[in-house]
Each structure stands twice: as C-alpha cells, then as structure tokens.
Amino acid sequence: QVQLVQSGAEVKKPGTSVKVSCKASGYTFTGYGISWVRQAPGQGLEWMGWISVYNGNTNYAQKLQGRVTMTTDTSTRSAYMELRSLRSDDTALYFCARGVAVADEYYFDYWGQGTLVTVSS
C-alpha cells in the first residue's frame, strides 16, 4: 500500500533552517510528483511547491521563492523540503503529498502524517 512517512517534529530558532523528509513506499517513486503543503495552527492549507521526482523540476509558491528548496533522492525513495531564514509565522504542520497530474488537473491522492515545525526563540 502507498505510504508517505515523514520525519519527526522540529523546534527551531528564528533565522535558522529546517529540513523535513518524506519517505515513500508502495508505488513507483519516479512515476509521481511530490508536493509540500503546510498548515499553520488553526488555519487552512497552503501549497508550498512541487517537485518532479522523474526529472527534478521544481515549482515553488511565489511567497516562498528564495527560502525553500525541494529535492528528492531516488536511491532512498525520499523527498526533502528545506526552509531557510525561519520566522515565527513558519510555525506549522508540514505535509508531503503524492501528486497526480492528469490533463489539466493536479491533485493529491496520498498524504504524509505531517511534521510539526515550531519556530521560537
């Protein structure tokens, strides 16, 4: 069965960086993209960007351009999201999700369990 298992919770100080991992199993890793979505406490879902596992192409949300980097390692079937220059408003639950691209649609059929990142001095 398809599973996305994320790394554990992180507590970071403002100005530092965090790198969250997402290990995939149960499907052909290179056949799908991976997106990262975050959710601040009590708030809605915010798309951060996606990466093509097949060729490494990325597209980041404009709001996060310059602070986020998404990568994958096909040898370990893992995806990574690094966010730099952390601020208190980056405190959120971070999800990885498997992206399905069909015609003019892109949706997420499987999600990781979420990784809580807390930014606090």
Partner 1 sequence: SYELTQPPSVSVSPGQTATITCSGDKLGDKYACWYQQKPGQSPVLVIYQDAKRPSGIPERFSGSTSGNTATLTISGTQAMDEADYYCQAWDSSTVLFGGGTKLTVL
Alpha-carbon span 12 to 19, nearest angstrom? 11
Alpha-carbon span 33 to 31, nearest angstrom? 7
Q: Which of 10, 23, 52, 111 binds partner 1 (CB under 8 A)?
A: 111
Report in angstroms how near the CB of residue 55 gets to partner 1 at its nearest.
15
Q: How many CB atoms lie within 10 A of CB 47?
A: 17
Residues in contact with partner 1, shown as a per-residue x/- string from 58 to 77 under the rule CB under 8 A: -x-x----------------
Contacts of 105 (CB under 8 A, 6+ apart): none
Report in angstroms how near the CB of residue 27 gets to partner 1 at its nearest.
14
* CA-wise closest residue to 39 among 97, 94, 83, 96: 94
Query: Does 114 participate in binding partner 1 (rule CB under 8 A)?
Result: yes
Report in angstroms how near the CB of residue 117 gets to partner 1 at its nearest.
16
Pick between residue 15 and residue 105 the one whose CB is nearest to partner 1: 105
Report in angstroms how near the CB of residue 76 gets to partner 1 at its nearest.
22
Question: ∠ at Cα 94 (88, 95), nearest 5°?
Answer: 165
Alpha-carbon span 40 to 88, nearest angstrom? 10
Residues in contact with partner 1, shown as a per-residue x/- string from 16 to 55 under the rule CB under 8 A: -------------------x-x------xxxx--x-----
